[in-house]
Amino acid sequence: MVIRRILAVAALLGWSVSGRAEPAAEKPAEPKLVLDAQGFTSRVNSLAFSPDRHLLAAAGNDKTVRIFNLETGQIQATLRGYDGIGAEGECAAVAFSPSGRELLVGVQSNTTEGAIRVYDVADLDRIAQLLPGHDRGGVVRLAFSRDGRFLASVGADDEVLIWDWPTRKVRGRATVQGLPGYLGFLTEIPVLIAFDRGGVKAWSALHAKEFAKLLPAEKAELGAPALVQKTLGRLMAMDQGMRQVKLPYAGVEDARYLDLDVGHDLRSGSGTKAGRPCYFVGLWSDLDGRLVRLYEGHGYGVPSLALSGDGAWVASGDHFGEIHLWEVATGKRKSLFSGSGRRIYSVGWDSNGQGLAFGTKPHSGARWKFNDYAELEQTFDLDKRRIRNEITGNPQTAILREGDRELAPEIAPEWNVNALAYRRQGRRVSRYTFPPGVMAMCSTFAKSSLLGLDEAVIIGRDDNAMMCMDLRGMIGRREFVGHSAPVTAVAVSPDGRFLASSSIDRTLRVWSLANLKIYAAADFDYSAGGIVTYLRPGGFAERAGIRYGDLLSRMGGLDMPTLVDRYINDRWPFKVGQIVDFDMSRGGKPYRAKIELIASSDFIEPLISLFIDHAGEWVAWTPQGYYDASPGGDRLIGWHVNDGRARAAKFYLARQFRKRFYRPDIIDRVLELGDVSKAVAAANAARPRQVEMLDLRKVSDLKKVEPPVVRLIEPDAGARVRGGRVMVRAEVQSQNGLPITEVKILVDGRPAQGGEVVSGRDDTPERRTVTQEVEVPHGKSEVSVLAMNKESTSQPVAVAVERSGGADPPKPKVYVLAVGISQYALKELNLRFAHKDATDFAAAWEAQKDVFYSGVDSRSLVDGEASATHIRDGLQRLAQVAKPEDVTILFMSSHGMRDASGDYYLGTHEIDPDRLLATGIPSTEFIRQVAKLPCKVLIFVDTCHSGGLGAKLVDDPLRELVSDEVGAILFASSTPREESLEYPKLKNGAFSKAILDTLQDSASDLDQDGKLTITELDYWIDNRVQKFTRGQQHPTTHKPSTIPNFAIYKFTKPEVPSSRSVPGDRP
């Protein structure tokens, strides 16, 4: 019991379970591997419109602030600051200054350095200022006066600071009773209003004094007597009007936002509709309590609200991380901002333990119940690393009944499960009662010999916790720490080695059930602050006189930091059965209790965490940062690195460290060995070259691989370009002494063309300056610079520029090079239709001349023509003739092979598995050639790129094509661990036939604009291949973050291919 609380305190104090502990005051928070779902996945704490209504700022429970551009619907910036221990650094409030030039973020903090971050909206990459104050918990509310003269901030300790905003000085202090439901200034006179538990409070901002205590002369200073009296009358009428507001569905208020000038009273709440919980946002008139608009679009509680300055739009944010932008006049939603991925409500193992089945569509009505929130719909194949839109066999899910044994939740009237009973033959054997406010979400009998427990249960809770309990006495034996939102389902693998869990945080996690350790602890729980929250009924602690609400200070004479240090470093000094002194207090009076210690829980992190986004990109990672991912999946997680409280944090996407940490082989070994450290050691030992074991949670290890820093000096953002060229100048600095190996300038994600690249006169291996005059296309474009060292790559630093004037932009040409090899020099390698795939593909583009492209240069190399020499010549020619405005399309249908070192080679006519270096084309060479192409590049690969011929995947050799450095768009016929299938009836591969049918069928134009885009082509390739192969093959499409969606083909007339009605025979 106490062990779990010690672990909670360890987290608050900044200890890492993977290394030695040090005093919290001397140790900064370590780097954290976090999900970056391009939006929120949990509670939205605060919202604010910019005065011009172009931007919406949103503070999330994940300690970030995201700025949404309401014109484009895109994220304009993500603000990351100091991420401290526990809740420290959580962003609780946001506010724009009335001028719109500044954005303020109130954060949780316990230091004197400051809890209000000030950003210049024109430069959101850095924190312009950190305002001191609120050092006892940080800031929970912010409000500006309409004229920008005053700022009010409310602290977690109920203190209100009234600031003179131009000077950034505190004018005075006041207090409120608890978190105010509303904080804001009147417009006509400088008076601050707050609604708290005590009612309405008002202060003169001019005098930093309670309004009721103002002297007559002071009231006169606020304005003309008639104006002051009018304002007071308005407040009284408003108070009466708001008292008349009746929330629908017998609702309880969750959040509130007022516009005292317009007369709007905006509230959110939750109630009961048709016997089930419902959630609403309502807008009332604050004068008469009349309901103006009711919005019921949210699926969970709404803790944050904002009303645009003109009163026309509402933004409402919920606990699921969704932000709804809706119109007051109609109640219709305009935009939905949410993180990628879907909330996962169910999980199970397939029969062989190689797949995780899961469900994302929650039950409604009475079907939503404990341990049963959704049907299983899809499967993630852990071996082949692919998503299957099906469930095979009977997945092993949670077990609540087995023989005469039963786990029985006890349900409170408010739908909360507040206890879990273990019964045999209908009689209760034991029961666990959850702490106040905690709800059990799911549970299962834990059938695993590895636990060493005759009877055990796994429980998932709504406070993100998971625990394994010994059913004999309901004693905790293991804590599973990793989820950041309620746990919805748990399931033990068929062999009893692993536990799977699903969560509202949109992840699946796999945990070990082995190596259970026994620790001695007392049989009570307490909060991170030491308050007793749970007592085992009839247990030693209860018999010793400890009561709920008592305060723990020491155990066995040791304070909490010492206990944490002893636990983490395997020097726990206590034994089961030992009687230990506990120093406690009640009502401020100390006392000592002697308690006999019982066996208690250990603590583990996930072996593997898995996230899948809406587009099917996925990433699976270990706590140390090793990962496997789809080519775009390694943009979904990243490392948050603090850089002091007054500076913006650094953030590195996982993909930036892919040279070292993209390790599918380690993920394989984790599932094989059930231990991450052993898996890393075994995988490294199997590599031909020695590899150092690193853990990026350690500052020292991250420093070894940190990428260079790029500073783009020119052009300026938004620069207007005349003449077709713009000067680009950037400085690059190594952060760790590693030499800078390369600097790249890109235009719209492709290598820049133009003048000679000039290096700085004083350049060193660790510091470089590059200058180049580059060509930019007509209209708007993006110029970016990135840099590399041997270990990592920087994020592209980009600015938008616009070219105007001059001649009309030239119409692009398309260059197609299609390679297909059915007949090989080694006849045992022969395929059937690869040559036809290539010729059909090349021919499909010829009709686009003078339709979508000014010219079509389409060539194919088949069978004996597809020698290594001819393929190289073809690639070199493309680099010579293609222009920046053009499109190059490469098609490869052949074998791919690996050598003994795992290096991958593209197949040629003469390829020989025993002489790959001499007869094949190394993938690294192919990627280099693609990177030289100056234009947009599409690559279609119909080959087994795992290595073919039964080779075991080490990594995906083609993923570099979609990196920001190379910038190609990749269409692959299958996932890296699948084989591509040929389609005998139609004389094509399934992948090639899907492409050809899509180009021939005008119904492929989903938005009916007459053109086929990358997104539309992706949709139809996947749809058709899955039908052709009945789900045996899963094509994938990936593009760099720097490349937007664009059209590639124009339909001339409707034409339905014969294969649109898919034949029923298998390939």
pLDDT in the model for residue 71? 92
CB–CB of 909/862 below 8 Å?
A: no
Cβ neighbours for 341, distance < 8 A, ≥ 6 positions apart: 37, 41, 506, 611, 612, 613, 614
Q: Residue 138 and residue 552: Cα distance in Å, rounded?
A: 25
Average pLDDT, the chain: 88
Starting from the edge strand earliest in sequence, which strands make up the sheet with 191-196, in order? 182-185, 191-196, 199-204, 209-210
- Closest CA relative to residue 631, chosen from 642, 616, 647, 652: 616
Q: Give bridge partners of residue 552 from the DSSP assignment.
A: 584
Q: What is the band of 739 on the pLDDT scale with cuts at 50, 70, 90?
A: very high
Backbone angles phi, psi at 573, to 5 degrees: -90, 0
In this structure, how many other beta carbons lie within 10 angstroms of the beta carbon of residue 301?
Answer: 17
Cβ neighbours for 217, distance < 8 A, ≥ 6 positions apart: none
44-214: CATH topology: Methylamine Dehydrogenase; Chain H (2.130.10)
Residue 726: CA count within 13 A, CB half-sphere: 30
pLDDT in the model for residue 738? 97
Q: Is 325 exposed, middle or buried (0-12, 13-18, 19+ CB in 10 A)?
A: buried
DSSP-assigned letters across all residues of 339-390: -SS----EEEE-TTSSEEEEE-SB--GGG-BTTBSB---EEEETTTTEEESS
Calculate the CA dihedral of residues 988, 994, 999, 1003 and round it to 10 degrees. 140
pLDDT in the model for residue 595? 96
Residue 834: CA count within 13 A, CB half-sphere: 30
21 pLDDT higher than 50: no
More confident position, 1040 or 21:
1040
- Closest CA relative to residue 937, chosen from 860, 879, 895, 995: 879
Q: Residue 463 and residue 441: Cα distance in Å, rounded?
A: 10
1064 pLDDT higher than 50: no
The dihedral region occupied by 543, where left means phi > 0, alpha psi between -120 and 50, and beta the remainder, is alpha
Q: Residue 226 and residue 697: Cα distance in Å, rounded?
A: 63
DSSP-assigned letters across all residues of 129-189: EEE---TTT-EEEEEE-TTSSEEEEEETTSEEEEEETTTTEEEEEEE-SSS-SEEEE-SSS
Q: Residue 417 and residue 83: Cα distance in Å, rounded?
A: 33
Q: Residue 98 and residue 68: Cα distance in Å, rounded?
A: 18
Considering the domain 224-339 in this protein, what is its CATH number? 2.130.10.10
Q: What is the pTM of this model?
A: 0.86
254 pLDDT higher than 90: no
Token pair recorded at residue 652: 């590195």
Q: What is the band of 262 on the pLDDT scale with cuts at 50, 70, 90?
A: low
How far out from the chain centre does Cα 419 lie?
33
Q: Could you tell me what percent of the chain has a pLDDT over 70?
A: 92
CA angle 353, 354, 356 (to 5 degrees): 85
pLDDT in tens, 210-223: 888 889 888 888 88
In this structure, how many other beta carbons lie within 10 angstroms of the beta carbon of residue 419?
Answer: 16
CATH 2.60.40.60 for domain 341-522+599-616, yes or no, is no
Query: Does the fold of domain 813-1060 match that of domain 1-31+523-596?
Result: no
Q: Which residues of 245-273 are buried (b: 16+ CB within 10 A; e: fewer)?
A: bebebebeebbbbbbbeebbbbbbbbeee
pLDDT in tens, 839-882: 999 999 999 999 999 999 999 999 999 999 999 999 999 999 99
Q: Residue 286 and residue 264: Cα distance in Å, rounded?
A: 6
Beta pairing, strands 579-586 & 456-461: unpaired
CATH 3.40.50.800 for domain 813-1060, yes or no, is no
Q: Residue 97 and residue 529: Cα distance in Å, rounded?
A: 36
Rounded to an integer, the average pLDDT of 908-912 is: 96
Rounded to an integer, the average pLDDT of 16-44 is: 68
Token pair recorded at residue 233: 């009358």
Starting from the edge strand earliest in sequence, which strands make up the sheet with 637-641, in order? 32-35, 637-641, 650-653
801 pLDDT higher than 60: yes
Look up residue 973 and give its amino acid: S
Q: Could you tell me what percent of the chain has a pLDDT over 90?
A: 60
pLDDT in the model for residue 442? 95
Look up residue 698 and give its amino acid: K
pLDDT in tens, 290-348: 899 999 999 989 999 999 999 999 999 999 999 999 999 999 999 999 999 999 999 99
Q: Please report, for the chain, how many H helices and E strands are present, in that order.
A: 15, 75
Rounded to an integer, the average pLDDT of 236-244 is: 64
Considering the domain 709-803 in this protein, what is its CATH number? 2.60.40.10
238 pLDDT higher than 70: no
Sign of the dihedral defined by the CA atoms of residues 446, 447, 449, 455, in that order: positive
Look up residue 944 and give its amino acid: C
pLDDT in the model for residue 46? 97
- Cis bond leading into 631, ω under 30°? no
Q: Where are the domains of the chain?
A: 1-31+523-596, 44-214, 224-339, 341-522+599-616, 617-640+652-705, 709-803, 813-1060
Look up residue 8 and give its amino acid: A
- Closest CA relative to residue 189, chosen from 234, 158, 154: 234
Q: Residue 283 and residue 269: Cα distance in Å, rounded?
A: 12
469 pLDDT higher than 80: yes
Q: Residue 919 and residue 894: Cα distance in Å, rounded?
A: 14
Q: Is 438 exposed, middle or buried (0-12, 13-18, 19+ CB in 10 A)?
A: middle
Residue 180: CA count within 13 A, CB half-sphere: 29
Domain boundaries 1-31+523-596, CATH class? mainly beta
Q: Residue 615 and residue 23: Cα distance in Å, rounded?
A: 44
pLDDT in the model for residue 631? 86
Only one residue has tokens 């001649």, namely 807
